[in-house]
Amino acid sequence: MGLVTGDSTLLDLTPAGITHLQTLLENDDPVAELNRIAKQKLPRVELAEVRWCAPVERQEVWAAGVTYLRSKTARMEESDFSATAYDRVYAAERPELFFKSLAEKVAASGEPVGIRRDSKWNVPEPELALVLNSRGKVAGYTIGNDMSSRDIEGENLLYLPQAKIYDHSCALGPWIQLGATEAEAREWKIKIEIRRGGENVFAGDASVGQIKRRFEELAGFLFRSQSFPHGAVLLTGTGIVPPDTFTLQERDEIGIQITGIGWLRNTVMRV
Ligand code: DO4
Ligand code: MG
């Protein structure tokens, strides 16, 4: 457990007894708590020397879908008889929410993300991820990659779990940004760059403000009739879809930036 303070170092919080994320996330004011702890004499580590763990412990990782117009349009184009389902869910009161990953399966920044060997059309989905405490309150934000097999999903919507959940299909990181309001987060930009053999093969951007639903609304539906004693992480959907001719390849390097948070970087492997 560490605190990134903006001066290219990380403050080691473990000597102060902070050994679990959840303790902080359950606190009503984690920023004030960390400011208090940061006044203690704690070891500093250069960020360049840090190997990141995914910022998730026992939280289940869920994802929202079709929350941006761009996602709705792309999905209607990739499928035939499922097209109306995307159209309807975009406008419906109830959002699309699906289970994405167990915490222990999440890739950290610097670890590989996967493309399925039985799929020919794989894309990253760069998404803002809400870090929710056990009361369903947004305690912080991180960057998520909801890796997806578009041909499997497009063939039949009932194949969605196979298109979305497989080894290394979810990345989160590099860390959790605390203390931003929804209004502030809605000003953030999401950017993706994909490099292959040293060349840029795709770049795209979107604005968090384009998400159709409020964060509280998404979290509220997730916590309806379901409790999360350890909290949960909820990816908020993608607004960036590469052209239909694009598919990821092994060794591609994916960089996702959200302006208020940082960079999530992963290399692609076949799984
Ligand atoms: O309905 C399929 C998944 C949608 C999704 O993951 C997204 O919009 O980000
Ligand atoms: Mg997604």
- pLDDT, one tens digit per residue, over 159-217 is 999 999 999 999 999 999 999 999 999 999 999 999 999 999 999 999 999 999 999 99
Give the distance (Å) from ligand 1 centre to CA of residue 66: 5
**pLDDT score for 259:** 96
Give yes or no for a contact between 247 and 91, defined as CB atoms under 8 angstroms apart: no
**pLDDT score for 105:** 98
Exposure b/e, 42-67, CB count within 10 A at least 16 = b: beeeeeeebebbbbbeebbbbbbbbb
Give yes or no for a contact between 130 and 218, defined as CB atoms under 8 angstroms apart: yes
Q: Which of 68, 84, 87, 125 to mutate to test the pocket of ligand 1 (most atoms within 8 A of CB)?
A: 125
Question: Could you tell me the CA-to-CA distances from 124 to 33, 48, 61, 102, 213 in Å, in that order?
Answer: 35, 26, 16, 19, 22
Query: Can you give the pTM of this predicted structure?
Result: 0.97
Give the distance (Å) from ligand 1 centre to CA of residue 238: 7
Q: Which of 73, 75, 123, 152 to mutate to test the pocket of ligand 1 (most atoms within 8 A of CB)?
A: 75
**Using a 6 Å CB cutoff, which residues line ligand 1?**
63, 65-66, 71, 75, 96, 125, 146, 160, 237-238
**pLDDT score for 80:** 78
Of the chain, the percentage scoring pLDDT greater than 70 comes to 100
**pLDDT score for 26:** 97
